[in-house]
């Protein structure tokens, strides 16, 4: 891989399964699960689970844009969850499980907004896409035991 690196941030429910999906993508150099989009500094998993911090469970994706594009990552994002359910993915309910794209710059914002609009017109989803598109502010890595959680346990997914 070349020395080029960029970052993307996605929230699509439980971060364990989302991380596993992105780790399979050629051109993804690393992933880190964590918390973003909230009001509390340095939240813990227990803090986020209360819903009071307003953070989402997020995957930080470090990628080589000469190998995989931001658009490609968005396609993985759309395919890895149901972006039409507000604050819920499968059995997981709460604002920490919301669908969100946290953009780093105006280019990512424009690409994300275009991609979201296309999802609404492609007829894939029966309901409206509720995914938030907001600036990537502070990202707080989750505790070590959450990193590559499924991989460490020989699992492919956390959903039934």
Evaluate whether residue 1 is within a structural domain: no
pTM summary value: 0.90
pLDDT tens sequence across 15-36 = 878 898 999 999 999 999 999 9
Our answer to whether residue 14 is catalytic in this structure is yes
Q: Is residue 48 part of a domain?
A: yes
In a domain, 82, yes or no: yes
What's the CATH number where 84 sits? Answer: 3.30.1060.10
* pLDDT at position 1: 41
23 three-state secondary structure: helix
Catalytic residue (choose from 8, 11, 12, 14): 14
pLDDT tens sequence across 37-91: 999 999 999 999 999 999 999 999 999 999 999 999 999 999 999 999 999 998 8
Residue 157 forms part of a structural domain: no
Length of the chain: 160
- Beta bridge partners of residue 94, listed in sequence order: none
Q: How many domains does the chain have?
A: 1
Structure tokens at 48: 């986020």
pLDDT value, residue 34: 94
Q: For residue 34, which of 145, 146, 141, 144 has the smallest C-alpha distance?
A: 141
For the cut 80, the answer to whether the pLDDT of residue 145 exceeds it is no
pLDDT tens-digit series, residues 98-122: 999 999 999 999 999 999 999 978 7
Q: Domain residues for 50? A: 6-152
- Provide DSSP, 56-100: EEEEEEEE-TTTS-HHHHHHHHHHTS-TTSTTEETTEESGGG-EE
Look at residue 157 in the predicted model and tell me its pLDDT: 58
């Amino acid at each position: 891989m070349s020395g080029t690196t960029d970052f993307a941030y996605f929230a699509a429910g439980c971060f364990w399964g989302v991380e596993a999906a992105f780790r399979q993508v050629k051109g993804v150099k690393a992933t880190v699960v964590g918390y973003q989009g909230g009001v509390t500094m340095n939240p813990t998993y227990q803090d986020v689970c209360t819903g009071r911090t307003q953070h989402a469970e997020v995957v930080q994706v470090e990628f080589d844009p000469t190998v995989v594009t931001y658009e490609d990552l968005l396609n993985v994002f759309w395919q890895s969850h149901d972006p039409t359910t507000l604050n819920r993915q499968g059995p997981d309910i709460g604002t920490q499980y919301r669908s969100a794209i946290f953009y780093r710059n105006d280019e990512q914002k424009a690409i994300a907004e275009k991609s979201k609009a296309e999802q609404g017109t492609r007829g894939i989803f029966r309901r409206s896409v509720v995914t938030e598109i907001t600036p990537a502010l502070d990202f707080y890595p989750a505790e070590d035991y959450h990193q590559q959680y499924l991989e460490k346990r020989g699992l492919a997914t956390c959903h039934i």
